[in-house]
Each structure stands twice: as C-alpha cells, then as structure tokens.
C-alpha cells in the first residue's frame, strides 16, 4: 500500500519516464508533429497551469516545460537528426525565447539537438554538467558559447532557480567527478504547488544512490527518473532512489525493451507507467494540486 502523502509524484525513466497534471478546458496550439509522417498534432495547454510536454524524438530525449504557455524551458534536445523537427515544434508553440536550456548530459540522444535549438532561439540561462565530452557536438557547443557571448552555469546540488511563478532545485550530482554522464548527469526537481517533477537525465546507479542518501530527490508529488539512451548494463533504476522519490507516475522513453527489473520495481509500487515509444508524445498538466495526462500523435518507429 502506498504511503499517504500530500503531493503526487511522477517519474521518468529513459529508458524514460514522464508525468502530467491539469484540469479544466484546454486551449489548443498547433505544432509540427514529430511523427514519422510529420502529421500535425495538437498539444493542449491551459492558462494557470504548468504544462509538461515529453516529446517523442525516436531514440532521443527531450521535454518542454511551459508555465501557462508563456514562459518556456527546454530539457535536452534529442539528436541532431531530429533537431529541425524540434525547432519547428517550438516555433509552432509560440516560443521566441527560452528561459532555460538544461543539458542533463552531453550524450548523442540528448545534447546535439539542444545545440541546434540554441542557434535558433534566444536563451536566458544555460545549465549544464561540469565535465567535458570528446565529440563534434561538444566542440560545436563550445564554439557557440564563444561566438554568442553565452555563459553556461554548472550548478551545484541544492541550488534553487526561479522559473516564472515556480522554482526548481538541482538535486544531482552531489559532486562532479570522473565517470561521464552516468556519474555527472544534471538532475533537477521542479515543484509546482503540491506537484513535483523530477528529471534525472542519464544518472547511473552511483548518482542515484547519492541522491537517495541525501534525500534531495525526496518529493511528495511528481517524479521523472530518466535513465535514457544508454547501454543495457547502465539502464538502472536504483531501488533506494525509487523508495526516496515514491512516484505516482512514470513516463518511459525507451531506445529498447524496458528491463524486467525496472518494470518490477514500478509494478510493486503501483506506479502508473506511460511509454513514449508506445503512446507518442506525452502531455502532463498540473494545476498545482493534481496532474492530468494526455497522449498525442503516433510513436516514431526509428528507435535503437
């Protein structure tokens, strides 16, 4: 039986997990579909809500957060191959400026598309993990920072940032060090009223254990624990971490089959699971008290 609590929790495993909440009548905005046939899809939004769009980018991962569809945040941007589709999606949503671009890691399934987005839109703040990646996309990113006089921030755990009428907290890593994305993935928890969303990038077993020990990921509402687009051996959801977060929902964006061990952990805790590779785009709407979910479009088939 789930422990009674005031908040609702959502977890994203990427593999990938996502959560949403909202109520009332939605206002619709057209945007270019990211489906294979590029059909138009409607993503509903509502004033006075936090709208979270978990986008189906095939083997890539990306989420757009919008407060009343006026202030926007991008978390990761998928691969370079789907960057044009992501840019058109953002334009169709009315995005002119991104308050934040959050780079959880510099991996191929998350990072290159975000670099292309930053070439197209004004960005107020870039948050990124403090490690170096040997890749052309990372070199392109460093050149973009220099040419555009842009500054990246490598935030530390427990730092708090304002986003429109809400805020988010950096929950990982506890410290930067060796180990690449699995040990240094930038993780945040965004709180909106009595709901919370946790985004954990490519965090591996060690980083999840450290967050659990520090209770930084402990939230009474929404968790998105994202372990996406990494080798099968690293697709982990640490039990201690899940016990700390206690999610009500999980959204999976998977480049492969969800491991039985992860599925069992979620099933044992009655976590409601949404899968981007099955349902297409996943939309979550929070009014600060509860979360409403919607599925949009057909899932892409080009996954690895």
Q: What is the pLDDT of residue 263?
A: 83
Q: What 3-state DSSP class applies to 232?
A: helix
- CA–CA gap between residue 41 and residue 28 (Å, rounded): 10
pTM attached to this predicted model: 0.83
pLDDT at 225: 36
- Report the length, in residues, of the chain: 304
CB 301 within 8 A of CB 278: no
CA dihedral sign of residues 25, 164, 207, 110: positive
Write the pLDDT tens digit of every residue in 216-244: 666 544 444 332 222 233 456 778 888 88
In contact, 52 and 18? CB cutoff 8 Å: yes
Statement: 8-296 belongs to CATH 3.60.15.10: yes
Q: Where is 279: in which H helix or E strand? A: helix 276-279
- pLDDT at position 36 is 36
Burial 22-48 (b: 16+ CB within 10 A, else e): beeebeeeebbbbbeeeeebebbbbee
Are 87 and 118 a contacting pair, CB within 8 Å? no
Per domain, the residue ranges of the chain are 8-296
Kindly state the tokens that stand for 249.
């929902």
Give the pLDDT score at 18: 36
Q: How far apart are CA 41 and CA 59, in angstroms?
A: 20
How confident is the model at residue 15, as a pLDDT? 42
Q: What pLDDT shows up at residue 206?
A: 85
Q: Which two tokens stand for residue 116?
A: 């292309």
Tell me what pLDDT residue 244 has. Answer: 81
Mark 121-149 as b/e (b = at least 16 C-beta within 10 Å).
bebebbbbbebebeeebbebbeeebeeee
**pLDDT score for 8:** 60
pLDDT in tens, the chain (304 residues): 444 444 565 665 544 333 332 222 222 232 333 333 332 345 556 667 899 999 988 778 899 999 877 899 999 999 999 999 999 999 999 999 999 999 999 998 899 999 999 999 999 999 999 999 999 999 999 999 999 889 999 999 999 999 998 999 999 999 898 778 888 999 999 988 888 888 888 888 888 888 888 876 665 444 443 322 222 334 567 788 888 888 888 877 765 667 788 788 889 988 888 888 888 898 998 888 888 889 887 776 565 5
């Amino acid at each position: 039986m789930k422990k009674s609590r005031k908040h609702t929790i959502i977890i994203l495993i990427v593999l990938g997990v996502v959560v949403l909440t909202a109520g009332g009548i939605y206002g619709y905005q057209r945007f270019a579909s990211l489906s294979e046939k590029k059909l138009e899809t409607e993503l509903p939004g509502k004033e006075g809500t936090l709208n979270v769009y978990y986008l189906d980018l095939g083997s890539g991962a990306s989420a757009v957060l919008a407060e009343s569809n006026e202030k926007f945040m991008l978390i990761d941007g998928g691969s370079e191959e789907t960057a044009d589709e992501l840019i058109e999606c953002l334009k169709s949503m009315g995005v002119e400026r991104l308050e934040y671009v959050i780079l959880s890691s510099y991996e191929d399934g998350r990072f290159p598309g975000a670099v292309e987005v930053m070439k197209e839109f004004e960005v107020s703040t870039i948050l990124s993990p403090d490690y170096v990646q040997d890749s052309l996309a990372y070199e392109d990113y460093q050149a973009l920072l220099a040419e555009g006089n842009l500054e990246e921030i490598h935030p530390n755990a427990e730092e708090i940032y304002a986003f429109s009428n809400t805020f988010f907290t950096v929950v990982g890593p506890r410290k930067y060090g060796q180990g690449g994305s699995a040990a240094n993935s930038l993780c945040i928890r965004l709180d909106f009223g009595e709901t919370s969303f946790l985004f954990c990038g490519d965090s591996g077993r060690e980083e999840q254990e450290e967050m659990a020990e520090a209770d930084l990921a402990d939230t009474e509402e929404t968790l998105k624990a994202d372990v996406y687009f990494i080798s099968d051996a690293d697709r982990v959801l640490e039990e201690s971490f899940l016990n700390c977060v206690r999610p009500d929902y999980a959204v999976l964006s998977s480049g492969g089959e969800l491991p039985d061990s992860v599925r069992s952990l979620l099933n044992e805790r009655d976590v409601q699971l949404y899968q981007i590779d099955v349902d297409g785009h996943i939309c979550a709407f929070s009014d600060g008290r509860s979360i409403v979910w919607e599925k949009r479009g057909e899932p892409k088939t080009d996954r690895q």
